[in-house]
Chain A
Amino acid sequence: MAKGNVTINVERCKGCAFCVEFCPTKVLALSSAFNSKGYHPPHVVNPEKCSGCDLCGMYCPDFAIFGYKVPAPRTEAAKHAS
């Protein structure tokens, strides 16, 4: 189950690929799509590996991405039990 997620601001990205390289679990890759300035922004390719550590956000020089932790959802059984 994913423990983290990222938000990508596609239009701010300048395609430097810091986030792709420095994500410790290789969640991201540069997409083949373009933003309006002609850069290839990243997209999530391994969502289940994201821990929400926000290293991508720390590295991004363009403030175009950040990661955050997502609380693990409770199972259906656990919800009914309490």
Chain B
Amino acid sequence: MTAVAAPPTNPVEPFLRTERIPHIWCPGCGIGTTVNCFTRALLESQLNLDRVAVVSGIGCTGRVAGYLKLDSFHTTHGRAIPFATGLKLANPSLEVVVYSGDGDLSAIGGNHLIHAARRNMDIKVICVNNLIYAMTGGQSAPTTPATAITTTAPYGAYEPSFNLPALAEAAGASYVARWTTYHVRQLTKSMNEVLHRRGFCFIEVLSPCPTLYQRRNKMGDGLDAMKYYREASKVNNGGSAQDAAITKDGEIVVGKFVDRVRPDYMELMRNRLSSQLGEDYVEVENLLCS
């Protein structure tokens, strides 16, 4: 008789705080899908997982930190990026990933986003964009496309919305990509790419919010959103982020828009200080106290 080997475990399992699963995300929400991509990217990257830290803000995507079995920080609304900045500078050997939502990162956190990009701070930002403030019940976000119904735009949004890749690029990001939760393979590849890069990297992932965005706009459920992503997405690797604006039911431009090598913050700091201070400059590997 042939011995049957035990079936393998789900590759995502060792990354989860399993005592907290099932998670709070709704049926058909895409955040969990992005977590699958992230964990597979971590595995492929072969990074020392003890050195990977995840920093989240507040919101549905902000809950990612709580489910990942890595050093993980659930910080204040909009401030994951400056927290991550302090964390990284104190211990540059850490790989610091900010995992947060579109409202958290581009509304209340907008200022920190643009400055971290400007500084080319070596942190990797995964921005899950569900076009809405989901956790608090479906209010408008800076990314909500015109005419979409939200609880604070009950007659349809009329503000121009952010094109996040263009914003990140203009602010100075070294790497900018957009995918959707339909593009699981490309998203995983992008995430793996940034884990081996230095500098400010920004990956936007469009993701369904079935309970609020989809339902209030009569666009079906999470699966309907995924089908829309499949149908409406157009891959434009190397294309211009300026042309990647999102509308309520139009084309979705995805791909890697920006990939440029620039010295990152620490490099700039060290170069400047050592050039001015010479031997007097005390360069330290980290800021660890005893």
- Choose from B8, B12, B27, B188 the contact partner of A68 (Cβ within 8 Å): B8
Within 8 A of B (CB), among A14-62: 14-18, 21-22, 39, 55, 57-62
Complex Cα distance, B31 from A61, in Å, reads 7
Do B33 and A63 touch (CB < 8 A)?
Answer: no
Min CB distance B34 to A, Å, is 8
Closest to B187 in A: A58
Within 8 A of A (CB), among B22-48: 22-23, 25-33, 35-37, 40
Are the C-beta atoms of A63 and B222 separated by less than 8 Å? no
CA distance A55 to B184 in the complex (A): 8
Min C-beta distance of B99 to chain A, whole Å: 15
Q: Give the Cβ gap from B280 to chain A, nearest Cβ, in Å.
A: 53
Q: Which of A22, A63, A73 contacts B32 (CB 8 A)?
A: A63
Q: Is the interface of A mostly helix, strand, loop or mixed?
A: mixed
Cβ-Cβ contact count across A and B, 8 Å cutoff: 75
Are B10's CB and A58's CB within 8 A?
no
- Contact call A58/B36, Cβ cutoff below 8 A: yes
Check A59–B184 contact: CB distance below 8 A.
yes
* CB <8 Å contact, B223 and A16: yes
Q: Which residues of B contact A16 (CB under 8 A)?
A: 27-28, 221-223
Cβ-defined contact, B184 with A61, below 8 A: no
B275 within 8 A of A: no
Which residue of chain B is the closest to A11 with respect to CB atoms? Answer: B22
Expressed in whole angstroms, the Cα–Cα distance for A39 and B10 within the complex equals 21
B226: Cβ under 8 A from any A Cβ: yes
CA distance A23 to B38 in the complex (A): 20
The residues of B that contact A57 with a CB separation of less than 8 Å are 10-12, 36
In the complex, chain A residues whose CB is within 8 Å of the CB of B21:
12, 63
| CB-nearest residue of chain B to A54 | B11
Is B215 part of the binding interface, using a Cβ–Cβ cutoff of 8 Å?
Answer: no
A7 to B10, alpha carbons, bound, how many Å? Answer: 8
Tell me which residues across on chain A come within 8 A of B29, comparing CB atoms: 61
Given A68-B7, A73-B2, does the pair A61, B226 have CB atoms closer than 8 Å?
no
Chain B: minimal CB distance from A69 (Å) = 9
- Let me know if B13 and A63 touch, CB within 8 A: yes
Q: Mark A2-16, 1 if CB is under 8 A from B, else 0.
A: 000101000110111
Q: How far is the CA of A17 from the CA of B28 in the complex (A)?
A: 8
Chain B nearest CB from A80 CB (Å) reads 13
| In the complex, B167 has a CB within 8 A of chain A | no
List the A side residues contacting B32 at CB < 8 Å: 60-63
What residues of chain B lie closer than 8 Å to A11, measured between beta carbons?
Answer: 22
Q: Which residues of A contact B (CB under 8 A)?
A: 5, 7, 11-12, 14-18, 21-22, 39, 55, 57-63, 66, 68, 73
Binding site for A on B (CB under 8 A): 2, 7-8, 10-13, 16, 21-23, 25-33, 35-37, 40, 181-182, 184-185, 188, 221-223, 226-227
Given A61-B30, A61-B31, list of 14 further CB < 8 A pairs? Answer: A15-B27, A16-B222, A57-B36, A58-B33, A58-B36, A59-B33, A60-B33, A61-B35, A61-B36, A62-B23, A62-B25, A63-B13, A63-B35, A68-B7
17 contacts between A and B (CB under 8 A): A5-B7, A11-B22, A12-B21, A15-B27, A16-B223, A18-B222, A22-B182, A57-B10, A57-B11, A58-B37, A60-B33, A61-B29, A61-B32, A61-B35, A63-B36, A66-B12, A68-B8
